[in-house]
């Protein structure tokens, strides 16, 4: 069965919001009426970490939210949507387009790498930890302090500016109403006065920021893996009859819920792994005070040793996400070739606005 002429236009919030939300739901349950059949989103920003100094700024376009109604897939709609978005990127002088998808999403990987010329770039890990009512105990030997926005901005620019995809407008991210703050952890007694003043930091320290994604949108789990269901039911029974075991329970994911995203995770020094873990536990304790926050999420580089220090459940996490990149200017193609040939970087800055 065919369909009428395909029209691609800009999103209109007043007209399209309900339809796009409905499309998201229909994609999940494979239902369709004759309204919207596809949607895509994109954002543009300047980042550091892709070019070598002095020309270390690059303008990148991020492709996200590509959705096509199930009955209209394999008709070239997704391809047309991405190409139209790339035209918008080019019109705004974007150097590179990039996207993220699940590594085993064959349809998405084939679309971008085989038909659109993207190349596989990085395979970061998405780490997820459920939020429950049990509060983590944080060692009294560790000091955790909240930074002022200006302090956090200065530290990020000093210590993470060379990280791949580090946003040039980090100050705007930190000042966004969804950013709950930036915290540092260090051994008690090793910092005097304001942290980082005069460029001085302790021998071991760690830093992260927290973004309240639940204020922007909610998630819901449509179908859980059998192992997840078995664990949920068994943990509830054990918790009921043997509370002394204190087995952590999986939250209710079948109703809409929010999540906190930890970004800008940085650490230095021999004790920094323990400090990162304490900061993650601090973020979890903070999330227990939110009725909507059911999980805490972060994303780290594929070779980042941080993952062993960040509390997460393998059952809920994704060990290998996939990022792909494409040069939109001929003179940038060699740069992409060089980037993909380099060993995977340890650190990776994931912009919370693109989660």
- Over residues 275-308, the pLDDT tens digits come to 999 999 999 999 999 988 989 999 998 777 888 8
How many angstroms separate the CA atoms of 198 and 151, rounded? 11
For CA atoms 107, 113, 116, 118, the dihedral sign is positive
Convert the pLDDT of each residue in 85-142 to its tens digit: 999 999 999 999 999 998 888 999 999 999 999 999 888 999 999 998 789 999 999 9
Supply the pTM of this predicted model. 0.83
Instruction: Give the mean pLDDT of 4-14.
Output: 69
How many angstroms separate the CA atoms of 288 and 217, rounded? 18
Convert the pLDDT of each residue in 42-58 to its tens digit: 999 999 878 766 577 89
Quickly count: other Cβ atoms within 10 Å of residue 91's Cβ: 8
Convert the pLDDT of each residue in 204-213 to its tens digit: 999 999 999 9
Q: Is the pLDDT of residue 344 over 70?
A: no
How many angstroms separate the CA atoms of 44 and 60, rounded? 6
Convert the pLDDT of each residue in 179-226 to its tens digit: 999 999 999 988 766 777 777 899 999 999 999 998 776 666 555 554
- Which residues contact residue 217 at a Cβ distance below 8 angstroms, ignoring those fewer than 6 apart? none
How many angstroms separate the CA atoms of 328 and 82, rounded? 13
Residue labelled with tokens 């990987």: 109
Helices (H), the chain: 13-29, 77-91, 106-110, 149-159, 170-175, 226-241, 272-287, 333-341
The pLDDT mean for the chain works out to 82
How many angstroms separate the CA atoms of 279 and 108, rounded? 35
Sheet of 258-268, strands arranged across: 125-130, 293-300, 258-268, 205-212, 179-187, 142-146
**Count of residues in the chain:** 355
Taking the chain, what is the end-to-end CA distance rounded to the nearest angstrom?
36
Which uninterrupted H or E stretch holds 130?
Answer: strand 125-130
């Amino acid at each position: 069965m065919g369909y009428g002429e395909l029209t691609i236009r800009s999103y209109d919030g007043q007209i399209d919001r309900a339809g796009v939300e409905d499309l998201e739901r229909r994609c999940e349950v494979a239902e369709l009426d004759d309204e919207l059949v596809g949607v895509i989103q994109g954002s543009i920003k300047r980042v550091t970490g892709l070019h070598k100094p002095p020309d270390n700024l690059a303008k990148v376009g991020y492709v996200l939210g590509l959705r096509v109604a199930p009955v209209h897939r394999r008709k070239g709609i997704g391809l047309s949507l991405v190409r139209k978005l790339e035209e918008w990127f080019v019109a705004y002088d974007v150097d590179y387009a990039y996207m993220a998808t699940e590594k085993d999403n064959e349809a998405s990987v084939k679309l971008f790498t085989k038909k659109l010329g993207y190349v596989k770039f990085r395979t970061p890990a998405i780490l997820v930890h459920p939020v429950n009512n049990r509060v983590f105990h944080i060692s009294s030997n560790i000091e955790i302090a909240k930074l002022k926005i200006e302090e956090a901005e200065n530290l990020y620019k000093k210590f993470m500016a060379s990280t791949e995809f580090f946003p040039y407008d980090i100050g705007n991210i930190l000042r966004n109403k969804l950013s709950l703050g930036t915290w540092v952890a260090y051994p008690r007694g090793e910092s005097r006065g304001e942290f980082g003043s005069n460029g001085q930091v302790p021998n071991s320290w760690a830093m992260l920021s927290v973004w309240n994604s639940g204020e922007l949108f909610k998630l819901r789990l449509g179908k859980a893996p059998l192992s997840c269901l078995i664990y949920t039911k068994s943990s509830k029974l054990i918790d009921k009859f043997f509370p002394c075991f204190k087995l952590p329970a999986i939250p209710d994911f079948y109703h809409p819920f929010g999540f906190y995203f930890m970004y800008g995770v940085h650490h230095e020094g021999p004790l920094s792994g323990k400090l990162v873990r304490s900061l993650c536990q601090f973020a979890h304790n903070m999330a227990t005070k939110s009725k909507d926050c059911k999980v805490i999420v972060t994303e780290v580089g594929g070779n980042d040793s941080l993952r062993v220090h960040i509390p997460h459940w393998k059952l809920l996490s994704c060990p290998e996400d996939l990022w792909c990149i494409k040069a939109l200017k001929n003179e940038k193609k060699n740069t992409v070739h060089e980037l993909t040939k380099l060993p995977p970087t340890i650190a990776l800055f994931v912009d919370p606005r693109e989660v």
